[in-house]
Amino acid sequence: MQIRLFNTLSRKIEDFVPIKQNHVGFYSCGPTVYHYAHLGNLRTMVHNDLLKRMFLANGFDVHHVMNITDVGHLTNEDDDSGEDKMEKGAARDHKSVWDIAKFYLDEFLRDMDDLNNMRPTDMPRATEYITEQIELIQKLEKLGYTYEIPNDGIYYDTSKFLDYGALTGGSLSGQRAGARVEFNNEKRNPTDFALWKYSPKDVKRQMEWDSPWGVGFPGWHTECCVMSMKLLGEHFDIHTGGEDLSRVHHTNEIAQSEPIVGKPWVHYWVHFSFLLDKSGDKMAKSKGEFLGMDAVRNRNIDPIIYRYWIVLGHFQSQLAFSFEALESAAAGYKNLVRKIADLMNDNSGEIDQDLYQQWHDKILAPVSDNLKTAESLVAVQDLLKDKTVNNATKLALMNFVDDLLGLKLVENAKKLHDLESADAPEEIKTMAQKRLEAKKSRDFATADELRNQIDNAGWTVMDTVDGFKLVKKQ
Ligand code: AMP
Ligand code: ZN
């Protein structure tokens, strides 16, 4: 099936043509592990996973690399100033930088698992690639792209790279006009950025390394260049990240890589739109208060519901988070699971291969066409309504839907089905029988009392045409 993706570089939806047949290499900018991931970061991670699953469903062999940023990322990315986020996080938590990196990475992986995101093929950490980052800066130095700001660091001269800013459609002069008024006066151009920052003379940093230029730490943009090229090769298919990354981080990654490896370094740039908070602002860790996966778990909402809500949207549209929206997604998800559980009551037929293929393609086509996941769920609903498809075929297709969208529909439907098929103990059945008789003789007080007793014993009694049904509570 032809895959199409919106490429930020061309600002168009393009047919996807892989560098190597049936293989896709893609790199995603991962989390900075100085705090819990917020729901916005996690939205981006779900989109990465949906992209990966779409390629797998189309028969591709996928190499997915996601880095872990555990060093050298300053609070003000526009002008390489401010505090180091990792050191700031360590001071806040009264732990070492290395300890918080480990702690928040483990928390991040728990969130990834709860959201049913497949683990990336590789998850390299910036601190493991310091030598390679120094080598990259040395290459740029040899090619004449760098200069030093004494007592500050080694900078990249963006005026030397003619295509600077092409990713977001701006030229260097365009960016300069829109750049912040205040900037480091010693920079040659407002868009220049740090490749290597010196450790401050009066402060002992927890993370610092020797380099040909002096003790310090690499600028944030170098890590993604070296890790992606080391693991995916000098040229690879796709680079992803949240929409905030295109203007500075990815623009600078291109400026560092293309002088060394030639153009184009990466063929497709895919940027995922923001999750907004209640006030309509970008959800951000730097705001201090933000919602993480725990906010969802603490309300007894399964994280898979958050994933379902994301699947109902599109990666190029911003989404405003609210618990009301999540509750309504929960109702929709439950409804879907209910319908699938009902299929399990009788799935004795044979899978109809022709119908399977037709519906498989109807479900996969919108996802392959620029990841229109919501449209694929519409096809799923149509399938469930279609009386010409037997239950066995529908269930086989639901397994495919789970592979494609990672929604754990069949797993949850099975749980529901098993609960409902569980045989109630004799005393519960007797109580339900007595309740039925009380209702028949219009003794509603006794009927209600018995319902409560059954409920307290962990069962729900439901009226049916020919009597009652007992369902074990979850
Ligand atoms: P960070 O941990 O801040 O380095 O971000 C990890 C990933 O989350 C990056 O790809 C960011 O672009 C993305 N991201 C950050 N904020 C948001 C947001 N509000 N909505 C969606 N993605 C975001
Ligand atoms: Zn990156």
Nearest ligand 1 atom to alpha carbon 37? 2
Could you tell me whether strands 236-242 and 193-198 are parallel, antiparallel, or unpaired per DSSP bridges? unpaired
Instruction: Check if 274 has its Cβ closer than 6 Å to any atom of ligand 1.
Output: yes
Q: What is the pLDDT of residue 89?
A: 80
From residue 350, give the alpha-carbon distance in Å to each of 383, 395, 401.
17, 11, 19
Which has more confidence, 88 or 77? 88
What tens digit of pLDDT does each residue of 174-224 get?
A: 444 334 334 567 899 999 999 999 988 877 778 889 999 999 999 989 999
CATH number of 17-272: 3.40.50.620
Asked if the model's pLDDT at residue 20 lies above 60, the reply is yes
223 vs 304: CA distance, rounded Å: 32
Separation of CA 319 and ligand 2 centre (Å): 23
Q: What is the pLDDT of residue 287?
A: 67
Specify whether the CB–CB gap between 197 and 148 falls below 8 A.
no
Taking alpha carbons only, the member of 321, 314, 221 closest to residue 273 is 314
Q: What is the pLDDT of residue 179?
A: 43
Which ligand lies nearest to the CA atom of residue 30 in the structure? 1
Which residue among 51, 117, 240, 244 has the greatest number of ligand 1 atoms within 8 angstroms of its CB, and so is best to mutate?
244
Q: What is the pLDDT of residue 182?
A: 44
What tens digit of pLDDT does each residue of 125-137 get?
A: 999 999 999 999 9
Exposed/middle/buried for residue 86 (C-beta within 10 Å: 0-12, 13-18, 19+): buried
Instruction: Check if 40 has its Cβ closer than 6 Å to any atom of ligand 1.
Output: yes
Q: What is the pLDDT of residue 124?
A: 97
**Residues with Cβ < 8 Å from 469, sequence gap 6 or more?**
420, 461, 462, 463
Span of 204-218, 264-278, 387-401 with lowest mean pLDDT? 204-218
Instruction: Check if 67 has its Cβ closer than 6 Å to any atom of ligand 1.
Output: no
Calculate mean pLDDT across residues 65-74: 83
What tens digit of pLDDT does each residue of 278-332 get?
A: 888 888 876 666 899 999 999 999 999 999 999 999 999 999 999 999 999 999 9
Q: What is the pLDDT of residue 189?
A: 94
What tens digit of pLDDT does each residue of 87-125 get?
A: 778 778 887 777 888 999 999 999 999 999 999 999 999
**Domain spanning 298-420: which CATH class is it, in words?**
mainly alpha
From residue 116, give the alpha-carbon distance in Å to each of 54, 120, 232, 270, 297.
15, 12, 24, 21, 14
**Closest residue CA from atom 7 of ligand 1:** 41
Span of 77-86, 141-150, 360-369 with lowest mean pLDDT? 77-86
Q: What is the pLDDT of residue 174?
A: 41
Asked if the model's pLDDT at residue 173 lies above 50, the reply is no
Residue 461's DSSP bridge partners are: 470
Instruction: Check if 282 has its Cβ closer than 6 Å to any atom of ligand 1.
Output: yes
Neighbouring residues of the ion ligand 2, judged by CB less than 5 Å: 29, 224
